[in-house]
Every structure is written in C-alpha cells, then in structure tokens.
Amino acid sequence: MTGEKVDRVVFGNFEADLRSGELWKSGYRIKLPRQPFRVLAALLARPGEVVTREDLQHEVWAANTNVDFDQAIAAAINKIREALGDSAENPRFVQTLTKRGYRFIAPVTLMPEHPISPPADSMPLVIPERISAHDGSENNVEDEPKNLQALPSGSPNAQTGRTQSRPESVPTIEALRTDRTVFEEDLTKGALEDRFNRLDRTKFAYLCLIAISVFACAMIGRWLSIPTPNTTPYRVEQITHYVPISLGPPNPESFLAMAMDGNRVLTPVMVNGRPRLSAIDVDTAEVQGIEVPDEISSNSLADISRDGSRLLLRSQQSTKSEQPLWVVPSVGGSGRRIPGVLAHDAAWMPDGTSILYATGNDLATIGPNEDSSITYAKLPGRAFWLRWSPNGSLLRFTLFDPVTHAAALWELESGSHTPRPVTIPNFISSSACCGVWLPDGQSYVFQSNDNLWQLEGFGRQAKLVQLTNGPLRSLSPVAARNGNRIFFVGLEAPAGLQQFEAERKEFRPAPAFLADANRIDFSRDGRWVAWTDLHEKLWRAHTDGSDKVRLTSDALEVFLAHWSPDGKRLAAMARKPGGVWQIYLVDANGGKAEVLLDEARNAADPSWSNDGGSLVFGREPDLMGKENGSRTIQIINLSTHRVEEIPSSEDLFSPRWSPDGLWIVSLTLDQKNVMLYDVTHQHWQRLVSTSAADPIWSADSKAIYVHAFLADRQPILRVEVPSGGTQIVADLGNLHNGDVANYFFGGITARGEPLVQPRVGTGNLYSLELTKP
C-alpha cells in the first residue's frame, strides 16, 4: 500500500504512538507493556472488524514462539482493558466475540507521520515489529517508564491544543505485514553521545537550521492563533428580570437546552415550584406556557424542527438515563410518542422528518413511518446537545467521557460514521459543551467554564474569540434564526458559603475568606481549615483567615481533602484535567502533590485512620464517573502501600473513618442507606435509611452528619452512632434567599454548625449581539 504512513492513532481521550509503543491519555502516558501494546495496535489496524486469535498470534508473536497463545492473548487483552479503563461486560473499546476473536469498537482517527503535510489519499497503519518471547511473558522487556509521564512539548494531545486529521480508510492487515517499523531501542547517555559524535557535522548544521526555522514558524503560527481578547465589550441585554428559568437538577448530565421559534425562546420556567415548558417573547419578555400531554408533564427540550412547527421532547417521569421521546407541536397540544425509542437526547435530521437520537454510547436514526431504528455511529462516550449545521453537512455534539465525565465537543460529517473531536486552536480548558451554530454556518458558539466562546471557521485556521468573561455565569446558548444574536441564561454569582447559627436557627454568611469554599475540613486541633473552592483548587489558612495559602496548581482539580490527625498533610481526591479521580497526599505547607495510587480507574473519598498510618477510600457512583470494576471500600497502608478490601463492602462508596478510629460509615450506591462498619468486630450494620450525601463525623465520633438531599426541604441530619437516632439540624427553610433551589453540604464547624454552598436553580434570559457597537 502506498501513501503516507500513520504513526499515531487517536481514540477518545487516548492516543497510541505506534512508533514508540506508548499509550497516552489527555497528555499523560499510561503504562502498557510492550506485548499488550502490539495487540492493541493490531486491533487499531482494523477498527470495527473482527480480529481472530490466529491473526493476533501471527501479528504479535514470532514464528518460533512456544507459548499458550490463548492464555497470552487473554492476558494482553486484560492489560489493555486495565489501561483504557474498559471492561468485558460493558466494553467501550475492546469487545470480545466468543470463539471468534476481538473487535475494537470505538471510532479512531489516524494521524500522519508528518501532520503538517497535506493528508494522503490512503495512509497505512504501522504496527511495530514482532516480539519474540518463548515463554509468552514480558520478562525479556525492559522496565516500562512510570505511568502518567507528562506529554512532550508539541505532542498532539498537549494541553495547548489537539492536532486533528480527517479520518482515513483503514488498511487491511495484509498491507500492514508489508510495511512495518520497529520500536526505538532504549539508549543510554553513552550511546546517545556515540551516535551524536558519528553525525556528519555539515548535516548536523543543516538540521539545526531547519529546526530553528520550524521553531520560528511555530511561534508565528501560535501567535497568530492565540484567542482574540474581547477588548471591546459585546452588547449584552437582559431580557427578563423576574422569570425564573429552570436549570434542572444538579448532576453532570443535566443540560438546560433552549430553542428559537421566531421571536420566542422556548425554555422551562418555574411555575408553582415546578418547571413548565414555556415561550418567552424576546421583544416584550412576556411568558406563555406550552401545553404538553400529561404523560410528559415533566420533560426536557431536545430540539425544534427547522420550520419551527414541531418540538422533540424527552420525558423525565423517572430518574432513568434513557427516556421516551415525544413529538409535540411548538404551540402546544397533543403529542405523539416515538415508538420503541429510549434516549437521553435527540435532534431532527437535516431532512426534517427523520430523528437522530443518542442512547447509551450510540447515535441512531428512525424515520417518520418506521418502527425500528438504524445505528448511525458508535461513540466513545454519551452524546448530548446534538446540533446540525445550517446546511446539514456537519453535526456537532457534546461528548461525556463515561469514566471521568469530562465534557468535550465532537463532530460528525453527514454521511460519515466516524466522529472526531472538534479542533479548537489554543483552547486550554478541560471542558467544553453546549454549542450552537450561527445562521451563516461558519460561526459556532459554545460554553466553557461558565463563559461563552465563538469559534469562527474550521480546523487549524479557525479563530477563537471569548464572548463573555463573568461575573455573570453564561449558560445554554441558542442562536436567533437570522442575524448575529445569541440568547443565553445568565446567573448571578452565588451568595457564598453560609454558616448555620443554631441560636438564630438561620444561615448567615460564613467568614469572607471562605465565601468561595465548596467543601471544608478543619484540622483536629481546631487551628487550621482547608477547603476546595468553586474552581476546584485547594487552599488552607488559620481559622481566622490568616496565613492563607493555595496548595495546588491549575494542573490539578481537587474535589475534597481531609486533614491528617497530626495536621501536617492532607489526603485529597483530585485529578488531572480530563483524567480519573485519584488519591493525592499534599503537604500542609505546599509543594508537589504526591499521587498515592496509580490506577486507570477512579479512587475517591480518602479518609484517615486515627493513627494517620492508613487511609480508607472507595470508588465512584455513576453520577461522578462510570466504574468498570467492582465498587468496594478499601484501606491502603501508607507505609507499605498494601491495599486491603473491607469484607462485605460491595456496592458501597463515600467512606468516612471516625476520629477515634472505631467506626467507618459509607453510603449505598443508590444513596438511600447509611451503613456503619465496626472496625473492632469487623461487621456492617444499617445505621439509618434515608437519602444521604456527604457524610461528616462530629469531632467526638458520637454522630455523623448527612445531607438528606431527596427529602422534603433537604434537611441536614445528625445521626447518633451506633443507635441511628436522627434529628434535623437545618434545612432549606433556614436559608432566606428565595431563589435557592438546593445546596451543597460542605462541612461542619468545630461547634457542629453546618456549612453549605447555596445553589440558585433559576436564571434570567439575556441576549448578546455579536456585531460590536
């Protein structure tokens, strides 16, 4: 096969470097031994096709290898799944076909050897040379580098921007056999010096000149592609002032979508405490309710037809992810359920009659008179906000990583079934979502970090412009059908952390230095407080606010942290942007955070033993990130790093070790029961049956505080240990801001006073004119 060689393959957040034999994820290297990597490369050569065990044997092992190939291949597949966070039961990447072989099921993008060159018509995928191992083991392979090494500068997945290429046809495995490359051998310093000394000096001088030229061009290109600063403010107008637009429940997969119907914005509005689909006139701000069938009185808006006559609504009558789809007139009235379809989002196809919907990790279509669906595309995650370009040639959508729940923008050309990430030059945020096309089909506005951005053009030549920059949170954009006007929901800055005062029986503002605190933990001597802010950074200070220090950099997102018993360290649940949650140890005076476990799956909620020698931790519920292994409670010894599982802890999460070391509490995965573990006698009991989140121990270990978030008024309960007796400490009624829909239970003061971060569940409608004044 002729054409430019492919040396890198991108799939999801991963990239396989076929020349070096390295696997990368979101800019960090994932440890994968050499032989499993070759198996992965063979699967990547034929995405979507069945690769038999015989093919893998021929591709990976030399002819004189004497080994149990079935066992060796199975072991390699297990290593691949472990590195990718995949599972045989619910595969996202590698699917097992019983008695047949394996299939790589995620979309792939082939990256050429020289990405700055024009793409060739066909690009052969190169698998490194075979490895000979007479015993089938990895003993003849040198030690692999440590996991999660930083991506070299200039690599396609570096945080400065992702290099993308259009998908190409994948070659056959026969073609691969005629064109191979070998792994680069590991070179010692002496070997490198020896090679350098053998270089022709003239050639070396030319190489240096070329390198300098390339660097200069790269710097010019980077300067030209820096996002344009918004030096001249765009005209922003507040449309409504007292119309509470409902944002929906506070979970990662809850998106407020709006639609335009002429001069009306269709969106859910709170009426008598319940969201109701309504139309807001953008000229008069008048609101009119839209009648829908009783079967979908609780619904979310997915899309509106191009002629503005029909709505696609998704039922929300239950908490299940996949729900029925309905077609309802945009003026209201009776509707029609789409037969046989359960989805979490949907959109009209460009023909205006068929429907594209997202279910699980797939996109599927169904016609107006059809009873069965057709799979349209396989995705490496769950898709939301499906939006076709005005000419119907390109679909863009928000893709959720099923493990990390990081959001990213992806696209799919009409008629193609191979999705790819949207190229956004010099965009460094780890999250982007919820994009809409402008009528010209060249501009695309999306949301990231509570601000709006505009992407003009396509590919590396696209221009990125930041449209808003706070203090208003700008969410859920929708474009006018004509012109350059964008409508969005604006939220005022939250009221800040609130502290409960038992004597007054009301929440009052917490100390000013904690205003942005989200989850708070006090040291056991009462002198220090640590907290994560609303931007997932970790801080610490004296309890009077003095000696305030930020402990983590922008390279780490921190969910929560707990003080060690001696007050010298904190155990944090954190992750690199786009990565999985891990346990880190952070010095109380700052410095580099030390990752404690090196896994390709989420580890969460570290909590200290009373002697400071161990940590109990758990895994994550689906709301925070899908887990591929069992969910149990485990204890890690900090001296030996040995991990032990607590017996009978299956399907539990969010553990907390009592300060006296005698008890561990955890929640069931459905968050309807609080379980208590007796450390001395090693047995579990149900402490209380209630909806529960964010358990926190009292300082004397006699009670646990939990947030009963599903109960009426969402009370914070104090539960006695071990009796299970409960009392309400505070609830929503103690907050005086009527716009507060719910709150996050962030911590307990030394005196047992709850700390909460209120969440405003509604916003107002704003418009933004993209033509500057």
At residue 627, the 3 state secondary structure works out as: coil
pLDDT tens digits along 443-455:
999 999 889 999 9
Give the residue from 376, 389, 459 showing the smallest Cα distance to 416.
Answer: 376
Q: Report how far residue 441's alpha carbon sits from residue 432's, in angstroms, rounded to the nearest whole number.
A: 19
Residue by residue, DSSP assigns 170-181 as PPPHHHHHTS-B
Q: Give residue limits of the domains in the chain.
A: 6-186, 192-224, 235-493, 498-761
Q: Report how far residue 159's alpha carbon sits from residue 215's, in angstroms, rounded to the nearest whole number.
A: 18
Lowest mean pLDDT among 69-73, 293-297, 621-625, 713-717: 621-625
Tell me the fold of 6-186: Arc Repressor Mutant, subunit A (1.10.10)
Q: Angle 53-60/34-44 helices, nearest 10 degrees?
A: 120
Q: What is the helix, strand, coil percentage profile of the chain, to 5?
A: 10, 40, 50
Share of the chain above pLDDT 90, in %: 50
pLDDT tens digits along 514-559:
988 999 999 999 999 999 998 899 999 999 999 999 999 888 999 9
Superfamily, domain 498-761: TolB, C-terminal domain (2.120.10.30)
State the pLDDT at residue 754: 96
pLDDT tens digits along 147-172:
333 333 333 333 333 333 333 333 33
Q: Report how far residue 642's alpha carbon sits from residue 765's, in angstroms, rounded to the nearest whole number.
A: 54
User: Is there a shared CATH topology between the 6-186 domain and the 498-761 domain?
Assistant: no
Q: Report how far residue 468's alpha carbon sits from residue 562's, in angstroms, rounded to the nearest whole number.
A: 35
At residue 203, the 3 state secondary structure works out as: helix
State the pLDDT at residue 184: 32
Give the residue from 573, 562, 746, 756 showing the smallest Cα distance to 659.
Answer: 562
Structure tokens given for 745: 């239970």
Highest mean pLDDT pick, 330-344, 397-411, 556-570, 592-606:
556-570
278's enclosing H/E stretch is strand 274-281
Range 720-736 average pLDDT: 92
pLDDT tens digits along 322-380:
889 999 999 999 999 999 899 999 999 999 999 999 998 999 999 988 888 999 999 98
Locus of tokens 């990231």? 448
Q: Report how far residue 326's alpha carbon sits from residue 74's, in angstroms, rounded to the nearest whole number.
A: 45
State the pLDDT at residue 8: 81
At residue 49, the 3 state secondary structure works out as: coil
Q: What is the separation of C-alpha 410 from the centre of its chain, rounded to a whole number of angstroms?
A: 13
Share of the chain above pLDDT 70, in %: 78
Dihedral of CA 270/276/280/284: which sign?
A: negative
Mean pLDDT for the chain overall: 81
State the pLDDT at residue 629: 62
State the pLDDT at residue 66: 67
Backbone angles phi, psi at 40, to 5 degrees: -60, -45
Q: Report how far residue 504's alpha carbon sits from residue 524's, in angstroms, rounded to the nearest whole number.
A: 27
Dihedral of CA 517/520/523/524: which sign?
A: positive
Q: Is the pLDDT of residue 82 over 60?
A: yes
More confident residue, 526 or 320: 526
Q: Is the pLDDT of residue 729 over 70?
A: yes
**Quick one: pLDDT band at residue 246, thresholds 50, 70, 90?**
confident
N-to-C CA span, the chain: 56
Q: What is the separation of C-alpha 714 from the centre of its chain, rounded to a whole number of angstroms?
A: 27
Q: What is the largest CA-CA distance in the chain?
A: 84
Backbone angles phi, psi at 233, to 5 degrees: -60, 140
Q: Angle 53-60/69-84 helices, nearest 10 degrees?
A: 90
More confident residue, 597 or 609: 609
State the pLDDT at residue 559: 94
Q: Is the pLDDT of residue 115 over 50?
A: no
Q: Report how far residue 147's alpha carbon sits from residue 212's, in angstroms, rounded to the nearest whole number.
A: 32
pLDDT tens digits along 182-232:
333 333 333 333 433 443 444 444 444 555 454 444 444 444 444 554 544
Structure tokens given for 469: 């920059």
State the pLDDT at residue 442: 94
Highest mean pLDDT pick, 212-216, 250-254, 428-432, 711-715:
711-715
Four-point Cα dihedral 415, 421, 426, 432, nearest 10: 110
State the pLDDT at residue 114: 40
State the pLDDT at residue 319: 66
pLDDT tens digits along 267-314:
999 887 678 999 999 999 999 999 999 888 788 899 999 999 999 999
pLDDT tens digits along 484-518:
899 999 987 667 899 999 888 999 999 999 988 99
State the pLDDT at residue 692: 94
Residue by residue, DSSP assigns 103-159 as EE-S--EEEESSTTSPPPS---B-PBPPB--TTSSSTTSPPPPPSSPBPPTT-TTST
Range 577-584 average pLDDT: 87
Lowest mean pLDDT among 77-81, 188-192, 664-668: 188-192
Strand arrangement, sheet containing 50-52: 50-52, 101-104, 94-97
State the pLDDT at residue 370: 80
**Is 1.10.3720.10 the CATH number for 235-493?**
no
pLDDT tens digits along 9-46:
888 768 888 888 888 875 567 889 888 999 999 999 88
